[in-house]
Structure 1
Amino acid sequence: MHRPASTLWAEVMGNLADTLRETAIHLAEVSTTPRLDAELLAAHALGLERSQMLLRLTDLETPPSLTDMTDRRLRNEPVAYITGRQAFWDLDLVVTPDVLIPRADSETLIDVAVEYFQGAKAVGETGPARLLDLGTGSGALVLACLSAFPDASGVGMDASSAALAVARANAARLGLEPRSQWIHRSWTDPAWSSDLGQFDLIISNPPYVETDAGLDAMVAAYEPHAALFAGPDGLDDYRILVPHLSSMLSPGGIAVFEIGHTQAEAVSDLASNSGLSTEMRRDLAGKPRALRFSLGIGDMNG
């Protein structure tokens, strides 16, 4: 059981630099990045960017609110929920417990989309004009795509009205509201795709965790389960979504979906049965992370 942060501060009589050093030691009980966590929490408590704080570290005193924030982190609450912010792609996003925390692994999907449409431009084709993010959550994927493709407009769809409120707020903060649209809808509804039309890019990080999978404590206790779990094999939502893609993609369009690292073959089979070709991309850790679907049968690679 962790000691309250108030006891840590009693042991540290110096400035913020001393406090951060001591805090990182104790956060190592719950975090693989304890020093970074301590710095992010302190910067938020001070109302400074982390880079600004680090430049002034020896001149700053420990902010009182850091005590409560550290206690929350010691109870496994994610830093992003404590600060309400998360970096993703080139964006600074607001996040709440109503949405999954965007992770660097998911940036692989944006890399795939950008590379594909850069290749299209190289042979005289245009970039994507219309984007769709299925299960948008915080809006991370569609807003990152709108940032990468300044001539595009995007639609974010989610079954959670609370999540859509977060996504709308992020679009407004980032100046992307005029190019974005938000739809409150579940793909479990029989006619969910009938009026959406076609898209040049469909992107999604659907639920894909097996129902009985063991998760990290801070994920299991704090992140929304409806956005995580997808049946005994984690494939329930792919079985719904993938068969719709061939009718929703415009000519030359692609879909890019995140997958669990053991799911590439199973999801690729679903795509092949729906008339789609598949290419697989690994994340920076070398794990299968994204599948790119396009019209026409092909082979999985990557």
Structure 2
Amino acid sequence: MPLLRRLTSLLGPSQAARELQWIKKHALQARLSVEDLVDRRMRDEPLQYILGTQPFGPLDIRVRAPVLIPRPETEHWTIKLSEAVSPTPAKPFRLLDIGTGTGCIPLLLCHLWPKGSVSACGVDVSDDALTLSRENAKAHGFERGPVDLELRNTFQAVRANILDPAFTTSVDPPYDVVTSNPPYIPFHEYLDLPRSVSRFEDPKALFGGPMDGLDFYPAIVKVLTQDGFMNRNGIVALEIGHQQGEDVHKILKQTGKFKEISIWNDPWGKQRTVFAKM
């Protein structure tokens, strides 16, 4: 069966034509077999894993299974955050990204904010994610060296688990900004995910708990509100599921530590991010 016809049976005619064009281009550049790449796509492997990258703002982020593929909605709120907060070389920020995955969030902020205005740390429990985020940092020139004399933004990846009582000892607070795209999909929604997601992307980066998917937010907020973890007027941005805005807003508000809490919608009108100031 011709390649386009095979892909059309899976994707429909317009999407199949676009993907085949991208696959052919990648096969030529990487000296791979177009047929082998199409076979992978027909087994429901995400196109991003096949091509090896995913655009995220102006960055091309390297991706590979099983690390979570960056989503457009995450890109949207990351750019919005870059416009809402303004570090400078004179007043630089320390940023912590919890569950960093590919490193896409802190690396895009490193790209968008002025040189020398942010020192970012991404934490994850996955060795695959830590390795990949370090590769992305190096590829985009943000890898933190032993001694940095040049004025630039930097990123380092650290193994740490937000559910571990000793989490704070691994991340060297205080921080000015904390971001996170934690696992937030409840079990009933996880069962309905497309095969391209459930078969290839790490369930630990997706599944947020058996009931409402909110298991990680109380743990994150508990850490953020510890004395000395956040600097004065610290900023928090947490990605959420489309029906979790009010619940996460309540978790933050109940601490009494946040003076400003708002819910940001994504470009499709769904609740996507809770933004708060200490």
Shared topology, TM-score over 0.5? yes
Structure 1 residue 102, shift from structure 2 partner: 0.3
| Aligned equivalents of 2:206, 2:196: Cα separation in 1 | 13
| Aligned equivalents of 1:27, 1:43: Cα separation in 2 | 20
| Mapping for residues 183-262 of structure 1, pairs under 5 Å | 183-194=158-169, 196-213=172-189, 214-231=192-209, 232-247=211-226, 248-262=229-243
Partner residue of 1:138? Answer: 102
In the alignment, structure 1 residue 40 sits paired with structure 2 residue 19: no
Q: 2:38 aligns with which of 44, 60, 70?
A: 70
| Mapping for residues 55-204 of structure 1, pairs under 5 Å | 65-118=33-86, 128-149=92-113, 150-151=115-116, 152-178=118-144, 179-194=154-169, 196-204=172-180
Structure 1 residue 72, shift from structure 2 partner: 1.4
| Aligned equivalents of 1:32, 1:282: Cα separation in 2 | 29
Partner deviation per Cα, 1:104-127 (whole Å, 9 max, x = no partner): 110122123212124x88xxx976
Q: Secondary structure at the match of 2:185?
A: coil
2:96–2:179 Cα contact (<8 Å) kept: yes
Query: After the TM superposition, which of the residue ranges 186-195 and 227-236 deviates more from structure 2?
Result: 186-195
Q: Are residues 144 and 269 of structure 1, via their aligned partners in 2, closer, same or farther at CA, if it must alter by over 3 Å?
A: same
In the alignment, residue 235 of structure 1 is paired with which amino acid?
A: L
In the alignment, residue 229 of structure 1 is paired with which amino acid?
A: F
2:77–2:266 Cα contact (<8 Å) kept: no
Query: After the TM superposition, which of the residue ranges 107-116 and 132-141 deviates more from structure 2?
Result: 107-116
Q: Secondary structure at the match of 1:222?
A: coil
Partner residue of 2:250? Answer: 269
Q: Secondary structure at the match of 1:212?
A: helix
1:201–1:255 Cα contact (<8 Å) kept: yes
2:179–2:237 Cα contact (<8 Å) kept: yes
Partner residue of 1:8? Answer: 2
Structure 1 residue 287, shift from structure 2 partner: 0.8
Structure 1 residue 246, shift from structure 2 partner: 3.0
Partner residue of 1:52? Answer: none
1:117–1:128 Cα contact (<8 Å) kept: no
2:7–2:42 Cα contact (<8 Å) kept: no
What do you get for the CA RMSD once the two structures are aligned? 2.3
1:135–1:205 Cα contact (<8 Å) kept: yes
Q: 1:288 aligns with which of 246, 264, 271?
A: 271
In structure 2, list runs of 5 or more residues that go unmatched. 145-153
| Aligned equivalents of 2:33, 2:85: Cα separation in 1 | 46
Q: Secondary structure at the match of 1:93?
A: strand
| Aligned equivalents of 1:229, 1:135: Cα separation in 2 | 13
In structure 1, list runs of 5 or more residues that go unmatched. 1-6, 10-18, 49-62, 296-302
In the alignment, residue 187 of structure 1 is paired with which amino acid?
A: I
1:108–1:281 Cα contact (<8 Å) kept: no
Q: What TM-score do the two structures reach when normalised by structure 2?
A: 0.86
Alignment coverage as a number of residue pairs: 259
1:112–1:281 Cα contact (<8 Å) kept: no
Partner deviation per Cα, 1:119-175 (whole Å, 9 max, x = no partner): x88xxx976521111000111111111111232110010011221000001111111
Q: Are residues 263 and 32 of structure 1, via their aligned partners in 2, closer, same or farther at CA, if it must alter by over 3 Å?
A: farther
1:254–1:294 Cα contact (<8 Å) kept: yes
Q: Are residues 148 and 43 of structure 1, via their aligned partners in 2, closer, same or farther at CA, if it must alter by over 3 Å?
A: same
Partner residue of 2:9? Answer: 26
1:208–1:260 Cα contact (<8 Å) kept: yes
Q: What TM-score do the two structures reach when normalised by structure 1?
A: 0.79
